[in-house]
Amino acid sequence: MPKLKEVNFWLVYIVVTTLILTAAIFIFYYEWIINKNKYTESLTNFNKISVQNTISSFRNKESTLRILGENLLELDTLNNPENGRKIINDMKRVNKGIVAFGLARYDGQLILVSTLSNTDNLPNLMDDKLTAKSFEEARDSTSMKLGRTYYMENLAKWVIPLRMGIETNDGKILLVMTAGVQVDGGDTVLNIKELPEDLKIQLIREDGFLQFENPVENNYEKIYLKEFDFHILKKIDEVKEFTPEVFISNISNQKRLISVIYIEDYNLYSLVSIPFDVVTKDFNKKLIIAMILLFILLLILYFLFNYSIKIQNKTRDQLKYIANHDTLTGVYNRYSLNEEIKNRMEKKRNFYVFFLDLDNFKYINDNYGHLVGDKLLKEVAKRLKARLFKRDYIARNAGDEFIILIDERDEETVRTIAKKILDIFSNNFRIDDIEVFTGVSIGISKYSKNKTTTSELLNQADMALYKAKEHKNSYVIFSKAIYGNTKEIVQIETELRQAIAREEFSLVYQPKINSKTNKIVGVEALIRWYNLKLGFVSPEKFIKIAEKSGIINDIGEYVIKQAQKDIKEVWAQTNEEFTLSVNVSPRQLVSIKEMNRFKKLILNSNFPNDKFMIEITENIFLGDVKGIILFLNTIKSYNISISLDDFGTGYSSLSILSKLPISELKIDKSFIHDMFLNEENMKLVKSIVNIGKDINLEVVAEGVEEQNELKLLESFGCNIYQGYYFSKPLSKEELIEFIKNKI
């Protein structure tokens, strides 16, 4: 019996806590991704709106420049600048956000500015490096170009310069329109009057300078005259191919979530960003609440597990008691007994083993029921504890068996204790309103230092018990005199009780052959037993012990179930069906109870009745002949065949033979082997064959080993044979091959 295992609740708590924390981390991470994606999507959508507004604003201003330029060209303003003074001033008034319109010749010289009446000191745009590049691009293009944002001293404003060449009718560009867009308000560029809180919009040129920013956190010089952060610029430059894009980076020493879209028409990057703290703020609120709830959950789990540990500690003693004691009688159980013997041996303590077995307990159980039997066992244990010393170790081994360990005493004292135990059973036991009597047989063995193992010690007591049971209600002390034959019988019986559970039995099958067709007509199932301790044990030896001990009923049940299973497999693999014969012991039909058990077994199987045959011997008629014949007739009525085995060696007579519901008669092999010894034996075999034929029985000759035996039996009219001349007993696999070869 294995030791009782306690649940390590703290280990379970750690595992559960780890799983919960792991799950929480995954959930938190998932919630963070959702939160971040929400802001990413909002930022991207706002940037798209911003880009659309920017494009719309610039296209509107581009249309204005084109219309204004064409009008100025028609008024010959290039030669007479004052011709365009009125129209350029009017256009300035109606275009909010435009701080000035200007007109320049192809060489860059400004000739007209809307807000300046004096045109004598107007600059040449090609002379200033801030304006030269964009002007040069614009004078060779009819699309609007954006210059770097700069400070316009004449107007004292920071502006975004817009420039566009104006074509004449013959396709030449003679003049360039310019305009300055004020950058001190978002509505002048993006047409957005008010931005959401913490939001920042930036337009970045491809040369790395800011074109526009809103809101402005620093002075304009730091913003517009300084190149943008190189690392961010390098990252956003990739957006040309993958637009839009969102990433996290630092702007002005602040970590921000940034959405980038490239505006191809004006070679600008539109950046919309918010501080990363804003993104984490909502998530942190949820995280704090979740952490508080998680802490409460883990705290509750801690108290629950702590309570469970207290319950475990409280019940440990109870479990230990249950593990070491017999639940019915309250004395120690077999596991505890083995541990006690082991401990005594390790301490080199000499002691005696008293092996007790109630004499007629099975009879009491069968006649009064198991409830009475259980109460009897409890009463026996109670009397033993009352009459023996507390230091004497009492244990229930199994069923109606008790084992008592007695500390070393002289042999006379041991005999006195044995008689004392026998006296306990001299008085009847009163169970409820029933008075029952049971005796006890006692086998005694002694442990001496370094002489015996636990198994040997108990086996010696068991052998002595086996001897004591021959006389009933007595005791026997183990000695070498009873060791020999008793040891073998006890060993065989002991091992037999575990043989089915250990799967030590196997079956072989002796074919029945029809000599005329040379085909198999049936098989007889024969049991074989190989035990690791005893080796191969012949059926002649162990069947008798099994019958005497009552184990034969379990063995017979095993044979029928296993044989039916095997033969169905043989049928399936050979496509040949034949009769299965199984031997039945007289002990299996010794009482009405056993008969009913046997009948229930064969009728509840799914094996076809017309292919099943039971073989009985003449020894079955030593008991109640009428009862046996009545039972066999019942079996016959279910279409199950019956064979009389070893005919001529037992106690049946011709008068009984004629009354038996059998369909097969088997001649014992001893008659077959003696046929050629004298003429009388030959005539006897011939007579048995004739008897069988006369009463319409199939006659089978067993043990045919020689051809001359076969020839003689065929001359008598016998057609069915078993024996080594045709085949030895075969395993299932060998039987399959045998049948296939026959086919």
- Tell me the per-residue pLDDT of 334-347, one tens digit each, with 9 for 90 and over: 889 998 998 988 88
Dihedral sign computed on CA atoms, order 233, 235, 240, 246: negative
Contact call for residues 189 and 57 (beta carbons, < 8 A): yes
Peptide bond into 215 cis (omega under 30): yes
Structure tokens at 294: 């998680």
Q: Tell me, which fold does domain 501-742 have in CATH?
A: TIM Barrel (3.20.20)
Contact at 8 Å (CB) between 697 and 719?
A: no
Residue 433, class by beta-carbon neighbours within 10 Å (0-12 exposed, 13-18 middle, 19+ buried)?
exposed
Rounded Cα gap, residues 712 and 673, in angstroms: 12
In angstroms, rounded to a whole number, what is the distance separating the alpha carbons of residues 396 and 361?
15
DSSP string of 608-674?
A: -GGGEEEEEEGGGGGS-HHHHHHHHHHHHHTT-EEEEEEETSSS--HHHHTTS--SEEEE-HHHHHT
Highest mean pLDDT among 266-270, 326-330, 404-408, 505-509: 505-509
The answer to whether residue 741 scores a pLDDT higher than 60 is yes
Alpha-helix runs per DSSP H in 148-275? 186-189, 220-224, 230-236
CA distance to 356, 380, 395, 556, 586, per residue, from 403 (Å): 6, 12, 5, 31, 34
Instruction: Please give the Cα distance from 609 to 630 (Å, whole number).
Output: 19
Q: Closest by alpha carbon to 323, among 704, 566, 452, 315?
A: 315
pLDDT at position 187: 52
CA angle 619, 625, 629 (to 5 degrees): 100
The per-residue pLDDT of the chain, averaged, comes to: 85
The residues that bridge with 104 in the sheet, in sequence order, are: 110, 176
The C-alpha atoms of residue 577 and residue 563 are separated, in whole angstroms, by 14
Tell whether omega for the bond before 161 is within 30 degrees of 0, i.e. cis.
no
Between 155 and 122, name the one with better pLDDT: 122
User: Within its chain, how far is the Cα of 627 from the centroid?
Assistant: 55
Phi-psi region of 721 (alpha: psi -120 to 50; beta: other; left: phi over 0): beta
The C-alpha atoms of residue 343 and residue 352 are separated, in whole angstroms, by 14
Indicate the CATH number of 7-298 among 3.10.510.20, 3.40.50.920, 3.40.190.10, 3.30.450.20. 3.30.450.20
pLDDT at 510 exceeding the cut of 90: yes
Buried residues in 316-334 as b, exposed as e (16+ CB within 10 A): eeeeeeeebbbeebebbbe
612 vs 132 pLDDT, higher one: 612
Across residues 381-393, what is the average pLDDT? 90
Whether the pTM exceeds 0.75: the reply is no
pLDDT of residue 231: 58
Residue 31, SS3 per DSSP: helix
- Residue 7 gets which letter from DSSP? P
Number of neighbours of residue 472 by Cβ within 10 angstroms: 11
How far CA 316 is from CA of 8, 93, 310, 332, 362, in Å, comes to: 13, 97, 10, 17, 36
Q: What is the pLDDT of residues 418-433, one digit of tens each?
A: 999 999 998 889 988 8
Residue 678, judged by CB atoms within 10 A of its CB (0-12, 13-18, 19+), counts as: exposed
Q: What is the pLDDT of residues 23-42, one digit of tens each?
A: 888 888 888 888 888 888 88
CATH superfamily of 334-482: Reverse transcriptase/Diguanylate cyclase domain (3.30.70.270)
Domains 334-482 and 501-742 share a fold: no
* Number of other residues whose CB lies within 10 A of the CB of residue 592: 11
CA distance 95 to 270: 24
CB 109, CB 176: distance < 8 Å: no
For the chain, what percent of residues have pLDDT higher than 70? 91
Q: What angle do CA 500, 505, 509 make, to 5 degrees?
A: 135
Give the lowest-confidence range in 56-60, 215-219, 488-492, 612-616: 215-219
Considering only 156-160, 330-334, 417-421, 636-640, which range has the smallest mean pLDDT?
156-160
What are the extents of the domains in the chain?
7-298, 334-482, 501-742
Q: Beginning with the edge strand found earlier in the chain, give each strand of the sheet holding 440-447 in spatial order.
A: 393-398, 401-407, 351-358, 440-447, 475-477
Give the per-residue pLDDT at 406. 92
Question: Is pLDDT of 248 > 80?
Answer: no
pLDDT of residue 570: 96
d(CA 22, CA 29) in angstroms, rounded, equals 11
Exposed (0-12), middle (13-18) or buried (19+): which is 519, by Cβ within 10 Å?
middle
3-state secondary structure 534-597: CEEECHHHHHHHHHHHCCHHHHHHHHHHHHHHHHHHHHHHHCCCCEEEEECCHHHHCCHHHHHH
Beta strand 434-436 pairing with 429-431: antiparallel
pLDDT-wise least confident of 174-178, 364-368, 584-588, 629-633: 364-368
pLDDT (0 to 100) of residue 1: 41
In this prediction, residue 437 carries a pLDDT of: 86
Higher pLDDT, 156 or 54: 54
Give the C-alpha distances (Å, rounded to integers) separating 372 from 361, 366, 431, 436, 684: 10, 10, 7, 10, 56
User: In 3D, which of 182, 183, 185 has the Cα closest to residue 194?
Assistant: 185
Backbone angles phi, psi at 166, to 5 degrees: -115, 125
Tens-place pLDDT, residues 572-601: 999 999 999 999 987 777 667 778 888 888
- Coil/strand/helix, residue 390: coil
pLDDT score at 2: 43
| pLDDT exceeds 70 at position 516 | yes
pLDDT in the model for residue 186: 47
Tens digit of pLDDT for each residue in 161-198?
999 999 888 888 889 999 988 887 545 566 566 677 88
